């Protein structure tokens, strides 16, 4: 990116000229697209003008948007207001009585299918995002951005809200010269990796292929290459953001660095809606996958041994720990990969640290593409219901805490199954300073995902899931320093996810969303 602020080519044009200019620029950009998935309808209606500020300049909200919005049921929005918005959009506006509305508002979790947003906007481009945010602000509506729709708490939907669906922003463009890839906010991880596979390149991401790049990146992004390459957000070099006043910001390390800092770990549904991400890429390595299993009686030893091994584990190795239960016995297992070589030495080191021989030991080599597919799992595209939360392990787990945690996992007596999934941090993810980005857990040992795969979504089973999660939190106790923002849970203070970066993040969020337009109870200003 250029090293000095530059004038945006649309800025000096009239409103009509901006409409033509933005469409022309988008059409030109589309010519360089390498791969995309057509997920939304596209109309030929001309978009309205997006207000754009030069990179490095802070936008001043326009007068209509400067009034503090009051959350509304939409009763004050007249039918002609909705019609006027619909005419502006290049994408599609869906209201509750429209054909396709019910299917469009569904997220990945079927238990949220009965939520009834005021409307859903299938955005076709950044101009639609700007128009949608301006409309929400002017009419006192609560916007809910959506990329993949995988939020554990359903933060991208709700009753009486305006869902802004970014799935149609699905372009992927790889530049061989800079070895950077630029993607739209609606790109799913599976599609991103399929394009990068053509060039033997990768971006460190999570494993679920249907998760949107936006949500993963904004929360940090933990996956199998975290120790080798860092978090997903560590690969982020630039982004295009539409803020609640409808202004567009093109940010990088040299332009509005505070906003880039906040985006890298600040979580979705804050600051603005990112329409485009640019990442540096890395060589895609093959590897050897391994899976080790032990009997239930070894669960505490496996947990203690696994964490001891993390202190010496080379960055090319990654291994996570599962404690699984369907009620009663807790089965421990370790699944990992050695990038760029055989896994025998790593397996031996893990077994030595545990002090018990596994009852099952499997290893097999995989290409990078094969590894991505295997960790994604065969059923990862199926919609499912869950209840979940997290803890970030700030220091070593004592044997007494390990016993308490294993016991807490085994107390599940509901319908479905549960797991405590320990994902390692450290390595490349731990090298930057804790305040280098808004993701605060650089010095942490691991992230724990407490997960309930719900067999029933009845009130009784949801209550048992909430009680189980509370018991897991109590068991880990002061070993936890907070939570991971991508594993949001109900009734937990939002600041728990940001550690020592909370105050600075709040200040930056207030600069870009001074009136709390993003007003979810899970947002920074909510």
Q: Report if residue 461 sits inside a domain.
A: yes
Same domain for 201 and 347? no
Residue 186, CA atoms < 13 Å, CB-side half-sphere: 21
- Report the CATH number that the domain containing residue 213 is assigned in CATH: 3.30.465.10
Q: Report if residue 332 sits inside a domain.
A: yes
Q: Report if residue 375 sits inside a domain.
A: no
Q: How many angstroms separate the CA atoms of 160 and 151, rounded?
A: 18
Same domain for 278 and 297? no
Q: How many angstroms separate the CA atoms of 268 and 256, rounded?
A: 18
Same domain for 221 and 293? no
Which phi and psi angles does 119 have, rounded to 5°? -165, 160
pLDDT per residue, tens digit, the chain (526 aa), is 333 222 222 222 222 232 222 222 223 233 222 222 222 222 222 222 232 333 333 333 332 233 333 445 576 899 999 999 999 999 999 999 999 999 999 999 999 999 999 999 999 999 999 999 999 999 999 999 999 888 989 899 999 999 999 999 999 999 999 999 999 999 999 999 999 999 999 999 998 888 899 999 999 999 999 999 999 999 999 999 999 999 999 999 999 999 999 999 999 999 999 999 999 999 999 999 999 999 999 999 999 999 999 999 999 999 999 999 998 899 999 999 999 999 999 999 999 999 999 999 999 999 999 999 999 986 667 888 999 999 999 989 999 999 999 999 999 999 999 999 999 999 999 999 999 999 999 999 999 999 999 999 999 999 999 999 999 999 999 999 999 999 999 989 999 999 999 999 999 999 999 999 999 999 998 6
Same domain for 398 and 314? yes
Same domain for 146 and 246? yes
Residues 259 and 339 sit within 8 Å (Cβ to Cβ): no
Q: Report if residue 394 sits inside a domain.
A: yes
Domain final residue pick, 226, 259, 285:
285
How many domains does the chain fold into?
A: 2
- Hey, how many other C-beta atoms are within 10 angstroms of the C-beta on 386? 16
Q: Give the model's pLDDT for residue 382.
A: 82
Domain final residue pick, 255, 285, 315:
285
Q: Which residues lie below 8 Å from residue 21, measured CB to CB, with a gap of 6+?
A: 9, 10, 13
Same domain for 412 and 467? yes
Q: Report if residue 453 sits inside a domain.
A: yes
Same domain for 253 and 335? no
Query: Of 476, 484, 455, nearest to 326 (Cα)?
Result: 455
Q: Report if residue 14 sits inside a domain.
A: no
Same domain for 227 and 361? no
Residue 180 lies in domain: 25-51+80-285
Same domain for 162 and 208? yes
Same domain for 319 and 459? yes
Same domain for 260 and 317? no
- Report the CATH number that the domain containing residue 475 is assigned in CATH: 3.40.462.20
């Amino acid at each position: 990116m250029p090293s000095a602020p530059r004038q945006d080519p649309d800025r000096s044009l009239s409103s009509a000229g901006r409409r033509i200019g933005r469409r022309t620029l988008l059409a030109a950009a589309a010519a360089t697209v390498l791969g995309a998935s057509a997920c939304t309808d596209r109309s030929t209606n001309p978009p309205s003008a997006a207000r754009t500020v030069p990179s490095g300049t802070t936008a001043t909200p326009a007068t209509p948007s400067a009034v503090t919005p009051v959350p509304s049921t939409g009763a004050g929005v007249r039918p002609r207001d909705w019609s006027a918005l619909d005419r502006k959009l290049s994408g599609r506006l869906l209201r509750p009585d429209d054909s396709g509305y019910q299917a469009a508002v569904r997220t990945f979790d079927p238990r949220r299918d009965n939520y009834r947003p005021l409307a859903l906007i299938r955005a076709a481009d950044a101009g639609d995002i700007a128009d949608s945010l301006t409309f929400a602000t002017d009419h006192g509506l609560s916007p809910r951005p959506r990329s993949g729709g995988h939020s554990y708490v359903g933060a991208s939907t709700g009753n009486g809200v305006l869902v802004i669906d970014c799935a149609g922003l699905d372009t992927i463009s790889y530049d061989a010269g800079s070895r950077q890839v630029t993607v739209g906010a609606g790109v799913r991880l599976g599609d991103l990796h399929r394009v990068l596979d053509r060039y033997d390149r990768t971006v460190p991401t999570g494993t679920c292929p249907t998760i949107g790049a936006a949500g993963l990146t904004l929360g940090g992004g933990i996956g199998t290459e975290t120790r080798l390459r860092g978090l997903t957000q560590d690969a982020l070099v630039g982004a295009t953001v539409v803020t609640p006043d409808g202004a567009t910001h093109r940010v990088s390390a040299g332009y509005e660095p505070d906003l880039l800092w906040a985006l890298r770990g600040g979580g979705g549904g804050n600051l603005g809606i990112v329409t485009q991400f640019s990442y540096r890429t890395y060589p895609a390595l093959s590897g050897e996958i391994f899976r080790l299993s032990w009997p239930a009686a070894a669960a505490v030893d496996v947990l203690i041994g696994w964490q001891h091994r993390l202190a010496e584990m080379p960055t090319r190795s990654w291994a996570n720990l599962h404690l699984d239960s369907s009620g009663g016995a807790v089965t421990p297992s370790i699944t990992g990969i050695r990038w760029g070589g055989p896994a025998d030495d790593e397996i031996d080191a893990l077994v030595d640290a545990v002090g018990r021989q596994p009852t099952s030991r499997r290893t097999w080599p995989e290409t990078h593409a094969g590894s991505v597919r295997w960790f994604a799992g065969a059923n990862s595209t199926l919609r499912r219901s869950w209840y979940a939360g997290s803890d970030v392990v700030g220091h070593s787990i004592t044997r007494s805490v390990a016993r308490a945690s294993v016991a807490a996992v085994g107390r599940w007596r509901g319908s479905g199954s549960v797991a405590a999934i320990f994902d390692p941090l450290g390595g490349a993810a731990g090298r930057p300073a804790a305040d280098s980005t808004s993701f605060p857990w650089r010095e942490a040992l691991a992230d724990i995902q407490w997960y309930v795969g719900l067999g029933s979504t009845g009130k009784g089973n949801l209550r048992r899931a909430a009680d189980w999660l509370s018991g897991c939190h109590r068991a880990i106790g002061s070993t936890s320093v907070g939570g991971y923002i991508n594993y949001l849970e109900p009734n937990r203070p939002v600041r728990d996810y940001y550690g020592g970066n909370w105050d600075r993040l709040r200040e930056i969020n207030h600069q870009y969303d001074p009136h709390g337009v993003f007003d979810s109870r899970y947002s920074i200003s909510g």
